[in-house]
Amino acid sequence: MLIREKMTKNVITINVSDALAKAEKLMQMNNIHHLPVISGKKLSGMISSTDIENFKQKGKDANMENTSVAEVMPTNQRLLTIAPDVSIEQAVMLLQNNKIRSLPVMEHGQMIGIITLTDVLNTFIDLLWAKKSRITVELGHEPGLIAEVAGVISDFGVAISRIVMFPRPLQNNFEAMLSLDTDDTKLIVEKLRQKGYKIGDYS
> What is the Cα–Cα distance from 134 to 176, expressed in whole angstroms?
10
Per-residue confidence (pLDDT) for residue 60, from 0 to 100: 63
pLDDT of residue 130: 57
The percent of residues in the chain predicted with pLDDT above 70, rounded, is: 97
Ordered structural domains, the chain, with CATH: 3-125 (3.10.580.10), 130-202 (3.30.70.260)
Lowest mean pLDDT among 5-19, 36-50, 73-87, 129-143: 129-143
175: Cα separation from own chain's centroid: 22
pLDDT of residue 154: 94
Contacts of 5 (CB under 8 A, 6+ apart): none
Greatest mean pLDDT among 56-65, 127-136, 167-176 lies in 167-176
Q: Give CA–CA dist 124/92, Å, rounded.
A: 11
Task: Please report the pLDDT score of residue 104 as a whole number.
Answer: 95
> Got the DSSP string for 25-87?
HHHHHHT-SEEEEEETTEEEEEEEHHHHHHHIIIIIGGGTTTSBHHHHSPTT-----B-TTSB
Q: Are 106 and 3 contacting, i.e. CB atoms less than 8 angstroms apart?
A: no
The model's pTM: 0.70
pLDDT digits (tens, 9 = 90+) for 30-52: 999 999 999 988 999 999 999 99
Q: Closest by alpha carbon to 51, among 31, 30, 68, 29?
A: 68
Residues 6+ apart with CB under 8 A from 26: 12, 14, 32, 35
| pLDDT tens readout for residues 52-109 | 999 988 876 668 899 999 999 988 888 899 999 999 889 999 999 998 889 999 999 8
